[in-house]
Structure 1
Amino acid sequence: MTDQKPQTDIQIADVENKNGKIIFASDVIAIIAGLAATEVEGVAGMSGGLVSGMAELLGRKNLTKGVKVEVGNEETAVDLNMIFEYGYEIHTVAKNVQENVKRTIENMTGLRVVEVNVFVQGIYFEKEVKEPEPPRVK
């Protein structure tokens, strides 16, 4: 009989050191990536995919939506489906997201981030709030 780990849908990272192993589930890496991505100015939120032809804007409740990670023993790769706010330079916001996600994951886990792919799924336009018109006569 061999020592095999049971197969699951959750990928894990196995980091060995002199004290033993540190194991990261892929959901942990996805949560870190989602939080780091939404911290960047110009990010409206994560996109869970296309729903009825429109990107579904997700709040901070479910940060793993719109995040896909591949986890190895020493490295990880991240794909982010995002919605940006109107009025920001998309390439600048995307670059800032890549840098913040990479830095945050590496600092928190010790894993090397080999790539952070940002897929812009939409642009968020803040709804204009109309102030009521003052009465014409007093």
Structure 2
Amino acid sequence: MTSTTENTGIQQAGERGSHGRTTIADVVVEKIAGMAARDVLGVHALGSRTARSAGTMRERMPGAGSGKSVTRGVKVEVGELQAAIDLEIVVDYGVSITDVAGAVRENVISAVERMTGREVVEVDITVSDVKLPEEEDEEEERQRIQ
């Protein structure tokens, strides 16, 4: 993939004869992909257990912002015309992991291509955990502690 700017996380694209240039930051694609992945039935969370725990601790700190990080478990490479996406997901127990991964891939590709105009060349998915029914969720635990 070709990048017009380096180390900024911002990609630019323009067409000949256009009236300007459109710039899309990597974080924009990360957020779109994260939201699209979370919308799939059977996805419990994004990111590893360690990353989710660390994120939960950061969210408890004053001034750290509100809500879960939409980009947790999402990494992207965005070029002028294409994007590649890596996702780390946690699935609910009992779902078909291959079906969930396929649905996530389709939803992410559709959302990113529709919203950014970039061709998604690959979506690599790592299933890092399965949420068992008896496991307490960090969100439930945080509510109980407060």
TM over 0.5: yes
The alpha-carbon deviation at position 7 of structure 1 amounts to 4.7
Secondary structure of the structure 2 residue equivalent to 1:77? strand
Residue 121 of structure 2: which of 114, 117, 125 is its match?
Answer: 114
The 8 Å contact of residues 12 and 24 in structure 2, kept in 1 or not, is answered as yes
Judging by fraction of residues, say which structure has more helix: 2
The 8 Å contact of residues 12 and 72 in structure 1, kept in 2 or not, is answered as no
What stretches of structure 2 of length at least 5 have no aligned partner?
57-66, 137-146
State the one-letter code of the partner of 2:13: V
The alpha-carbon deviation at position 128 of structure 1 amounts to 7.8
The 8 Å contact of residues 13 and 74 in structure 1, kept in 2 or not, is answered as no
Are residues 14 and 38 of structure 1, via their aligned partners in 2, closer, same or farther at CA, if it must alter by over 3 Å? same
Corresponding residue number in structure 1 for 2:33: 33
Secondary structure of the structure 1 residue equivalent to 2:14? strand
Residue 86 of structure 2: which of 64, 79, 102 is its match?
Answer: 79
Corresponding residue number in structure 2 for 1:14: 12
What stretches of structure 1 of length at least 5 have no aligned partner?
130-138
State the one-letter code of the partner of 1:105: V
Are residues 20 and 32 of structure 1, via their aligned partners in 2, closer, same or farther at CA, if it must alter by over 3 Å? same
Distance 1:81 1:20 in 2: 36
State the one-letter code of the partner of 1:110: G
Distance 1:85 1:103 in 2: 23
The alpha-carbon deviation at position 15 of structure 1 amounts to 1.9
How many residue pairs match? The answer is 120
Judging by fraction of residues, say which structure has more strand: 1
Distance 1:115 1:89 in 2: 21
TM-score normalised by L of structure 1: 0.78
Structure number, greater radius of gyration: 1
Are residues 20 and 43 of structure 1, via their aligned partners in 2, closer, same or farther at CA, if it must alter by over 3 Å? same
Q: Give a deviation string over 1:1-53, Cα, whole Å, max 9, x none.
A: xxxx8753x42222213121111110110000000000000000101x353xx
Asked if 1:104 is matched to 2:111, the reply is yes
The 8 Å contact of residues 46 and 87 in structure 2, kept in 1 or not, is answered as yes
The alpha-carbon deviation at position 65 of structure 1 amounts to 1.1
RMSD value, Cα: 2.3
Distance 2:90 2:41 in 1: 12
Percent of residue pairs bearing the same amino acid type = 37
